[in-house]
């Protein structure tokens, strides 16, 4: 079979992240010459007649749950890889308008999975109610959430991190429902990771 190779150059501009107020992030001194575009060189396609597909098993579904916050249910991402719970600015304005966003005065620098700085405006206090399908009974957890720039519309608006999941797990293990096993695979995976952490 003959190999067909194409080389081409792609330029695109990164969209700026909308941030209002103080973000608490720091410019990396090791990257003084940051550009506002990314260059990709010598991208090679072998046999373009074959459609590009991700290999089966490369990407899995994420673990989401219908969690009650401020009296309403939201589809939230349960992220055992995140140390903090995060809510977007718009969500904060809509559901926590009665409480001000509290400043951290640059005390915290948050990094994303790839090491990039995650901007934030401050934090709010909230109570999160987890569904009985997860741990056998509804559990209320008082927690703090970082207020971050708005996310894309297709993403879960709230990311529940370990600062909320660990207190939840502690409540669960101290309750009469400590032996409850969820049926949903995603809940089982989160519970297993919480068991490993403790």
Residue 136 placed within a domain: yes
- What CATH number is attached to the domain comprising 171? 2.40.70.10
Residue 91: which H helix or E strand, with range?
Answer: helix 89-95
Residue 130 placed within a domain: yes
Model pLDDT, residue 33: 43
Mean pLDDT of 28-43: 41
DSSP codes of every residue in 144-189: EEEEE----TTS-SEEE-HHHHHHHHHHHHTSTTTT---SSHHHHH
Residue 48 placed within a domain: no
Residue 31 placed within a domain: no
Among 196, 158, 198, residue whose Cα is nearest residue 174: 198
Model pLDDT, residue 109: 81
How many angstroms separate the CA atoms of 78 and 109, rounded?
21
How many angstroms separate the CA atoms of 178 and 174, rounded?
7
The residue to which tokens 């927690």 are assigned = 143
- pTM of the complete model: 0.69
Does 18 have pLDDT greater than 60? no
Residue 180 placed within a domain: yes
Model pLDDT, residue 194: 94
Model pLDDT, residue 154: 64
Model pLDDT, residue 51: 57
Residue 21 placed within a domain: no
Residue 11 placed within a domain: no
Q: What are phi and psi of 166, to 5 degrees?
A: -65, -50
Tell me, rounded to whole angstroms, the distance of Cα 145 from its chain centroid. Answer: 12
Does 37 have pLDDT greater than 60? no
pLDDT tens per residue, range 95-152: 999 999 998 877 778 887 788 888 889 999 999 999 999 999 999 999 999 999 887 7
pLDDT tens per residue, range 53-65: 778 888 777 888 9
Residue bearing the bigger pLDDT, 21 or 112: 112
Mean pLDDT of 67-89: 93
pLDDT tens per residue, range 156-196: 789 999 999 999 999 999 999 999 999 998 899 999 999 99
- How long a stretch of residues is the chain? 198
Model pLDDT, residue 170: 96
Number of domain units in the chain: 1
Residue 129 placed within a domain: yes
| Structural domain span for residue 69 | 64-197
Does 9 have pLDDT greater than 50? no
């Amino acid at each position: 079979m003959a190999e067909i190779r194409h080389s081409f150059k792609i330029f695109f501009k990164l969209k700026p992240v909308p941030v209002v107020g103080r973000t608490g992030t720091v410019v990396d001194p090791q990257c003084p010459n940051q550009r506002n575009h990314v260059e990709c060189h010598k991208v090679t396609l072998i046999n373009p007649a074959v459609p590009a597909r991700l290999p089966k098993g490369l990407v899995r579904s994420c673990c989401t749950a219908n969690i009650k916050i401020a009296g309403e249910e939201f589809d939230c991402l349960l992220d055992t890889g995140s140390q903090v719970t995060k809510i977007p600015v718009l969500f904060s304005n809509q559901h926590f308008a009665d409480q001000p966003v509290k400043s951290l005065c640059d005390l915290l620098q948050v990094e994303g999975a790839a090491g990039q700085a995650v901007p934030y405006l401050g934090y709010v206090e909230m109570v999160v109610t987890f569904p009985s399908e997860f741990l056998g009974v509804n559990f209320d957890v008082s927690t703090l959430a970082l207020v971050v720039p708005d996310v894309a519309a297709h993403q879960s608006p709230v990311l529940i991190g370990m600062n909320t999941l660990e207190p939840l797990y502690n409540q669960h293990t101290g309750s009469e429902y400590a032996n409850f096993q969820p049926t949903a695979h995603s809940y089982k995976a989160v519970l297993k990771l919480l068991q490993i952490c403790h």
